[in-house]
Structure 1
């Protein structure tokens, strides 16, 4: 498949059996258990092979495992479109001095909104879109996502994604602190400063459109509600975010290889924007000078599920992983473009799994360490070893991604 979107590639190829056989033949007993019960684990995998031609142009072939885009809670993976649309919005505004480094002061205009005038992670203590993007990519910071969600605005986010053809993606709430559906429709007024001079004032916004799923999405046997009360019956995710796996990988391709997707699916980013995203999407916490992170809490492969996260293993310098992972409510998801600069290997892999053996949603008791992270380690390692052995007519040139 050349230059086609992942949706068409997946639909037009019956390659599930190849990927299943590939994984099953080498699987540990734990992985075999998951592969033989995909409904319980809600597991999905998309592996995409990349072959370069003599001009270094990438050609993609995708292999799909299990159900096409059945619902899973995407957690922090929605931070990727939130970042990309924040960058696009800056480029659309065309305000002199308004860039990712401008000081961003978040005000409040509705219940439960936070006022933010300082960022303790920044050397100069000044909040900015640049600092928020760094924290989102390096350690998946929730507050940073909330600030960009507010800058984008809920209606802008969803209308832009729909217009770009990400038809089933919806982003409708902040993270970490509870807000009602109505409160999440309201986003904060924001002020931007350059050299202590006000250069742009964004008013508070309100989404007048409905973005919830028209049908209930019921998961679990019991759930803990917003008041921390255990309730019988499943949790309804119809008013939660959605980001299907196929749309996740298409969006990652739109970032890493924009020319390989339809024009409308691309983002209006500058060359500097792309360089910034490439640098921080693949950066490890220990490599970051501003902001600095606690190495005990944020070990280097903290947000890199494939291959490395399960063992907290150090990643060799020649491996770069451009990815955005998410984990919440028993769901683990990662969407990655994996590069080995030494052996000239590259591939894309996106996967999600649900590991919640007690069936209680929102109780913070999940099988991430026992089953989730080992799943990503094993699948990632098997695909990487397959890629190491696979012959390529033309070796990839990775200079485009150099920081």
Structure 2
């Protein structure tokens, strides 16, 4: 059965030290916005998968109960940084499988100021759910003092530079683009514009990455209402609905670890696998896509994702970013929202915020950041440990 996104909503993403609302209020704002966007009430929702990483067990119920006490099943979802998209996968599966006609996917996060540790909910290094990934990195690069996740991606960037001649300027071009895009997004945590030179001159985090090439910790929430075709017909919602044309989740295989490369450890193979499956399910290819929201947790991951999605050959992503092909006037517009680097990255909300941006783009409702003629959108959300979700949306 076909499934559609009938409504989306999100809060503004904020710095953890300045946000002063509890997570259930953030979730309520996003959920109510999505329901209002769909033109339905919470009493019509049959299931609620809720994504978050840093709150305690059954926090999903606390969040959903702010929308209503209707007795419907609430599922607590945690898949590291891919949590929001995983909640969307569950919503689509329930609808596509004929088990429900209306599902609310909800994601939120309250985070602490500062860098992420060695994995969502992790304690010491050995207990980290991504200890195997760090072990691969340590065998080749050692384990330093900078934030562990930044080390993984910084070392992936170094390998890409050594293997393909990628330059610091090309990495910085990704961040400069996304900061520039966020200036037009009222939901973005940061809206300042930086040049490539300013990105390079920012505080180093883990060579070659600077602070302006790293996503921040954030508070925020996002939501999407996923419905069946018969629900659309029954309630007359076709005008604003966006079809989930294809979607796939993939997890790690031996390819993640076999090469000993951080490029593989941070998720390039698993992203490529999810993309192949999603494109096949939709009957589409990368050339059919107009607008992309991808997981730029660090600038290098945007480059790796270009290659994994088939936007360019391996090693050509730096040149692609520098060419202008991934911004307005280019072949694709990537991260018109500002991406994780500038819009923010509250883990449980990120994948659903990507969905919200793409729905607005495909409806022609994105205001000054509108991608002209956008008809097909692609969302990519990845979590170390690992999971990658690729979703194709079609108007």
Please indicate the TM-score interval, normalised by the length of the shorter structure.
Answer: under 0.3
Q: How high is the TM-score relative to the length of structure 2?
A: 0.27
Rg (Cα) greater in structure? 1
Structure ranking higher in helix proportion:
2
Whose RCO is larger (CA < 8 A, sep 6+)? 2
